[in-house]
Structure 1
Amino acid sequence: MNDQNFRLGAILMTATSFVFAMQDGISRHLASEYNVYMVVMIRYWFFAVFVMTVASRKAGGIRAATKTHFPVIQVFRGVLLATEICVMVTAFTLLGLVESHAVFACYPLLIAALSGPVLGEKVGWRRWTAIGIGFVGILIILEPGYRVFSPEALVPLIAALMFALYGLLTRYVARKDRSAVSFFWTGVSGAVVMTGVGIFHWEPMVPRDWGWMAVLCCTAAGAHWLMIRALEVAEASAIQPFAYLQLVFATALGMAVFGEVLEPNVAIGALIVVGAGLFTLWRARIKAPKPE
């Protein structure tokens, strides 16, 4: 990978993080006014159309995108991601963007911790140490003895665990399935399950919020398109650290638009979590087999 590709990939991943943060802010607004399942369902309708459009333009079209070696796991991945989005959007309404993203930032640590039992990968003592330090940061954010046992404080942690499992399963199916296949199944299976749940929670929406819903759908598709482009031009392990900028953008949005406050314990804990996460990403990159 040359420097030009890395710079372009870093710019695209930074843009992806920014758009995802804006999407989270819109989700927070809509979910505070309407049922979470309905909001996520409409978002997935648009997402399903987007992935089918992308698949139809690839070699082999939609038929090729449906051919998977892991049909059960692919469906489970899609359902898992849709459920994780519902949980995380709920966290936004309970805790706000700042604290939710501070806790959610631990997902790379969870991926590292679970990569052994799920993928059979070896995790050395350095990464285990980083994982332990990262979870000290989570305890600082959750304030032990005060909020650690609060259900609201655990919601984004559950979302992070679900997203980590989704990421590991994505790596597992990538052993035989193309990324286009995984992308297709993620959107379609998620749309099916969210329609089955969300249609029973339909609520009338005012015209202004339909406008916000349209922006939400466009940002969701736009962010995924940017991420696809970023991964096309640069190695995932090289540009993954830029995904942490979503925490910065979401925190700024929460404070500027929703009047949230960045508490000292949240800031300190988030720095520890991000630092530990960056270390695990670095260790995973240097331990990865080098292409011949």
Structure 2
Amino acid sequence: MSQSNNIPLGIMLMVATTMVFAVQDGLSRHLAENYNVLMVVMIRYWFFAAFVIALALRKAGGIRKAAATTQPAVQILRGVLLSAQICTMVLGFTILGLVESHAVFTCYPLLVAALSGPILGEKVGWRRWAAIGVGFIGVLVILQPGLRVVDPAAAIPLAGAGMFAVYGLLTRYVARRDNTATSFFWTGVTGAVVMTAVGVWFWEPMTPGNWLLMGTLCITGVTGHWLLIRCYEVAEASAVQPFAYTQLIFTVIIGLSAFNEVLRPSVVLGAGMIVAAGLFTLWRERLQRRPG
């Protein structure tokens, strides 16, 4: 299907995506505070795998075509990385809270820019390196080393950002030969297999109310991914990607209202620096992709 470029619709879909993902993170935090993180993520992946398999079955060629790839090792690595990243971030939500975890995690586009050279062989100019430097100063502003005792748990969302950046770069790498449907299929199925292998050992009985929340969590995950796919179908990624940062706004609202978290001035300043640096790198990337 040829891609249209309805930017206003794409922006609305991206904002809706980030709102759904913010709700998903709030539900994940609540459930992971009451049950083992591995079990919570495992159940999410069961639903996710069922979703990607159902999508594959609806298309010509079915599962055989969706799973067809010449680079299965990289596809499996992507799936393992994403499942580990989700576990890491959910753990961060329970220890640091939604606000600070997401404030640090927003640096992942800068990590993508920094790692695109060694992983994909892309050229990173001095302007992007300057933006990356500003972004990491923003991370330091959030963590405030030297001004207060840095919580070692702050490394959790930073590790999550690193894993997500590598996952994103590997997704770009496999896209050279695999289509989106194939990568999506491998992401869901690999994650479900990995999380079942580790999560089934931590099964705990859940109350009916929390099963309802778990069902809602699974639905938000599928809905968010569907909205994101539709977003990239109707508009250029470079035009809508800056609006992915609205997830930080929705996350802050949920963290403050539902979990009584505190928004420190240093978090606002640091996150602002990271977002500004990230928007600059997106702008530079869009300039470089324009035909001369």
Tell me how far 1:61 sits from its aligned partner: 1.6
SS at match of 2:112: helix
- State the partner residue of 1:260: 261
% identity of equivalent residues: 64
- Deviations 1:147-199 (CA, angstroms, capped at 9, x unpaired): 67532111000000000000000000000000000000000000000000000
> Does the 8 Å CA contact 1:51/1:184 hold for their aligned counterparts?
yes
The CA deviation string for residues 26-70 of structure 1, in whole angstroms up to 9 with x for no partner, is 000000000000000000000000011111222322111110121
**Contact 1:45 1:191 (8 Å CA) reproduced:** yes
Q: Which runs of 5+ in 1 are unaligned?
A: none
Separation in 2 of the partners of 1:89 and 1:18?
A: 17
TM-score, length of structure 2 as denominator length: 0.97
What is the CA-CA distance between 1:272 and the residue it aligns to? Answer: 0.2
Question: Whole-Å Cα distance in 1 between the matches of residues 176 and 169 of structure 2?
Answer: 11
Partner of 2:152: 151
State the one-letter code of the partner of 1:271.
Answer: G
TM-superposed CA distance for 1:286, in Å, is 1.0
Which TM-score applies when normalising by structure 1?
0.97
Is structure 2 residue 50 aligned with structure 1 residue 49? Answer: yes
Which residue in 2 is equivalent to 1:6? 7
1:135 maps to a residue whose letter is F
Structure 1 residues 71 and 56: alpha-carbon distance in aligned structure 2, compared to 1, 3 A threshold: same
Deviation at 1:146, TM superposition (A): 5.0
Could you say what the CA RMSD is over the residues aligned between the two structures, in angstroms?
1.6
* Structure 1 match to 2:75: 74
CA contact (8 A) 1:31 1:89 kept: yes
Q: Aligned runs of 1:182-193 on 2, under 5 Å?
A: 182-193=183-194
Partners of 2:103 and 2:244 in 1: CA distance = 13
For residue 177 of structure 1, give the secondary structure of its aligned residue in structure 2.
Answer: coil
Cα distance in 2 for partners of 1:148, 1:115 equals 33
The aligned counterpart of 1:36 is 37
Structure 2, unaligned stretches of length 5 or more? none
SS in 2 for 1:81: helix
Aligned positions, number: 291
What is the aligned partner in structure 1 of residue 283 from structure 2? 282
Distance 1:277 1:285, change over 3 A: same
